[in-house]
């Protein structure tokens, strides 16, 4: 998986938590785990994060990035729109959909709308802007990284890494986890991310779907939470 230096730098830029797309406002249910006392020990955090990788990042987000990347490479706008529609349908908690589409909208504004005029990117950005497609972050990400010359698997790893770091950041701000603990969870879950991306980079769109009922229940209960620092 060799990658040229400009693609590498683009990957770093996209995985950087300073990318202004509001990821720090999304916890994807982590806040509710904390609210309900389910995130006390480092082992709880590791288990929850691994489950997200296995059940959401792999079978949903990675499949979305990879299929959007492939459709974009084929110049297939309808294919990209189909990925967006499917991801919207399989993301059950309302707040998860909102966090993803708000970040996607910002990503479009910031990067996609200005991407190469020949590519699918600007047409897709126009559809997101017009509200005719939801504009999920993973789909925007797949389209943009294809136009920017990132290999599909690199794109999936980059998106997965950014998601992982953002979950851990939310957990750290909510719980009583030290920075070394958080880094140790990150280190031990990176191989899981690698494995999950490799497993799902070629999963066809028709098989996209999360199985994370507990996380989804947390995401739904968060809407009526007694404490809300995060949007999801």
Partner 1 sequence: MGYRDVAKIGIGGPVGSGKTALVKHLVPDLVDLGYEVGVIANDIMTQEDADVLRRAFAETVPEDLVRGVETGACPHTGIREDPSMNLAAIDEFTEWNPDLDVVIVESGGDNLAATFNPELADYFVFVISVAEGEDIPRKRGPGVTQADLLVVNKTDLAPYVDADLEVIDRDTREVRGGDPYVFTDCKSGQGIPTVREHIERVLFA
Q: In this structure, what DSSP letter does residue 11 have?
A: H
Identified binder of partner 1 from the candidate list 105, 122, 142, 160, rule CB under 8 A: 105
Closest separation in Å from C-beta 143 to partner 1: 19
**Least Å from the CB of residue 227 to partner 1:** 6
Q: How far apart are CA 200 and CA 20, in angstroms?
A: 27
| Residue number, 26 or 71, with CB nearest to partner 1 | 26
Among 144, 163, 177, 230, binds partner 1 (CB under 8 A): 230
Q: How far is the CB of 199 from partner 1 (least distance, A)?
A: 30
- Does position 106 bind partner 1 by CB under 8 A? yes
Cα separation, 145 vs 39, whole angstroms: 34
The one among 7, 156, 174, 196 contacting partner 1 by CB under 8 A: 174
The 2-31 contact track toward partner 1, x by CB under 8 A, reads ----------------x-xxx-xxxx----
CA distance 81 to 86: 9
Could you identify the residue written with the tokens 């296995």?
54
Q: Is 130 in the site for partner 1 (CB under 8 A)?
A: no
> Should residue 220 be labelled a site residue for partner 1 when binding is judged by CB under 8 A?
no
Residue with Cβ nearer partner 1 (123 or 225) = 225
Q: Which is nearer to partner 1, 132 or 188 (CB)?
A: 132
Could you say whether residue 121 binds partner 1 (CB under 8 A)?
A: no
Rg (CA), the chain: 17
What is the b/e burial string over 155-166, where b = at least 16 CB atoms within 10 angstroms of the residue's CB? bbbbbbbbbbbb
CB closer to partner 1, 20 vs 75: 20
212: which 2 tokens?
A: 């994370």
Query: Any idea of the CA torsion for 147, 152, 49, 194, to the nearest 10 degrees?
Result: -150
Q: Say if CB 1 and CB 198 are below 8 A apart.
A: no
Is there binding between residue 231 and partner 1 (CB under 8 A)? yes
d(CA 227, CA 83): 34
Q: How many CA atoms lie within 13 A of 220 on its CB side?
A: 9
Q: How many residues sit close enough to partner 1 to count as binding (CB under 8 A)?
A: 24
Q: Which residues bind partner 1 (CB under 8 A)?
A: 18, 20-22, 24-27, 102-103, 105-106, 170, 173-174, 223-231
């Amino acid at each position: 998986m060799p990658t040229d230096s400009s693609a590498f730098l683009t990957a770093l830029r996209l995985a950087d938590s300073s990318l202004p797309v509001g990821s720090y406002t999304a916890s994807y249910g982590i806040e509710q785990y904390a609210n309900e006392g389910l995130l006390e020990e480092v082992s709880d955090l590791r288990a929850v994060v691994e489950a997200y990788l296995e059940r959401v990042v792999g079978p949903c987000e990675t499949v979305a990035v990879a299929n959007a990347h492939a459709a974009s490479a084929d110049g297939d706008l309808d294919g990209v729109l189909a990925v967006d529609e499917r991801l919207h349908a399989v993301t059950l908690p309302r707040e998860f959909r909102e966090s993803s589409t708000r970040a996607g909208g910002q990503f479009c504004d910031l990067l996609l709308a200005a991407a190469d005029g020949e590519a699918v990117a600007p047409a897709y950005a126009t559809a997101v802007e017009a509200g005719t497609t939801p504009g999920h972050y993973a789909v925007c990400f797949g389209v943009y990284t294809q136009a920017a010359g990132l290999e599909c698997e690199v794109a999936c790893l980059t998106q997965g890494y950014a998601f992982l770091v953002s979950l851990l950041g939310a957990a750290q701000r909510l719980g009583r986890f030290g920075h070394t603990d958080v880094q140790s969870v990150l280190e031990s879950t990176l191989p899981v991310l690698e494995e999950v991306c490799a497993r799902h980079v070629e999963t066809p769109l028709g098989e996209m779907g999360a199985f994370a009922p507990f996380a989804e229940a947390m995401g739904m209960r968060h809407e009526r939470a007694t404490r809300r620092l995060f949007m999801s």
